[in-house]
Amino acid sequence: MSLTASQEIYISRLGRGTLGFAALVVAVLAGTCIGETPIPVSIVLQTLANKIFGSAYVLDPIDIGIIWNYRLPRAIIAACCGSGLAISGMVLQSLLRNALADPYLLGISAGASTGAVAVTVAGLGAGAISMSLGAFAGAVAAFALVAILARAAGGGVTSHGTGQIVLAGIAGSQLFNALTSFIITKSANAEQARGITFWLLGNLSGARWPDVWLAVPIALVGLAACTWYARALDAFAFGAESASSLGVPVRRVQVVLIGFTALVTAVMVSIVGSIGFVGLVIPHAARFLVGVRHGRLGPATALIGAAFLITADVLSRTIIPGRVLPIGVITALVGAPAFAVILIRGRGAP
């Protein structure tokens, strides 16, 4: 019996999907094993078996505590944030036709920080709205402002090859970062202020299971949205008008996908603070590896983003013994040179 072309495509997709998921599991396990106290994989697997399948391996309760309450949720959160931010960057780069677009540069992360701080520190909403919701409102407000500014400056969100949206994003970032500082200085006490400043630079040490149950669905929803719209994103290759003539409802796709981007960024920022460079660098690395088609690029971006942030988190915990670096420092230290390499190699690409 011979297979039809679409069946073959499904099977090869299934194969790649399984491989990708396996890589993700390995990365999460590695993130759980490596740390200041290295824990053997066997202990980690036995702990997981005890917790998930109710096995009865005899283990050190301290190991169990480190693995189950601390490192595993942290690794899962890192994976979700890495993939969510990378996917967001990819969507923005494709929709705006701008290689520099990313939630951090366009002010979305800054807006989310302001929203989160307004809720937690200034007590906006009097406890009725959550930090994530505040972050989402901030993210949407920031992007709306940036988009309006870019349009007023004559660039528009859709015209390609213009730097207006990035310039507007820089202005928006500065404004919202200033607002964040203003709120912190006005409303936070000294101890709060120190904690928030550390969180703003990106910090996974507060990651616990309730955060996992928020981050995992949001990351999956983000990936599902960009997979569903993969062909529409492909069609933006020659600009928005070309996409429109190929049957893409441009306005609707832009609103839906930028909305998802704001949601994913906001949730990730509310959990780990704002982490730069992931959304900018990872999509370019993924394009370099698997090409520009979003059907493949989306999952690849998510996977590389997840692996990258898990690695960055491990480095941030182990690089200086006894100290935890803000993860944003690691992503920038690794990301900047990686980006330089991509730029230089991309020039000579056939």
Contacts with another protein by CB under 8 A lie at: 4-6, 9-10, 97, 99, 160-161, 227-228, 230-232, 234-235, 237-239, 241-242, 244-250, 287, 291-293, 346, 349-350
Kindly state the smallest distance separating residue 158's Cβ from another protein, in Å. Answer: 11
Task: Report the half-sphere exposure of 181 (CA within 13 A, side-chain side).
Answer: 7
How many whole angstroms separate alpha carbon 284 and alpha carbon 280?
7
Angle between helices 250-272 and 131-152 (to 10 degrees): 130
Q: How many H helices and E strands in the chain?
A: 15, 0
User: Residues 28, 308: contact at Cβ < 8 Å?
Assistant: no
Q: Specify burial of residue 239 (Cβ count, 10 A radius: 0-12, 13-18, 19+).
A: middle
Task: For the CB of residue 102, give the shortest distance to another protein in the complex, in Å.
Answer: 16
- CB 253 within 8 Å of CB 77: no
Output the smallest distance, CB 267 to another protein, in A.
Answer: 24
b/e per residue 52-88 (b: at least 16 CB within 10 A): eeeeeeeeeeebbebbbeebbbbbbbbbbbbbbbbbb
Nearest approach, Cβ of residue 8 and another protein (Å): 10
Task: Give 54 or 247: the residue with its C-beta nearer to another protein.
Answer: 247
> Which CB sits closer to another protein, 151 or 293?
293
Q: Between 5 and 56, whose beta carbon lies closer to another protein? A: 5
Alpha carbons 118 and 269: distance in angstroms, whole number = 13
Residue with token string 């692996």: 307
From the CB of 9, what's the least distance to another protein, in Å? Answer: 6
Distance CA 112, CA 99 (A): 22
Closest to another protein by CB, 124 or 235: 235
Task: Using the minimum distance from each CB to another protein, give the nearer residue, 16 or 160.
Answer: 160
CB of 349 to another protein, least distance (A): 6
CB 92 → another protein: shortest distance, Å? 14
Nearer to another protein, 169 or 283 (CB): 283
- Name which of 76 and 92 has its Cβ closer to another protein: 92
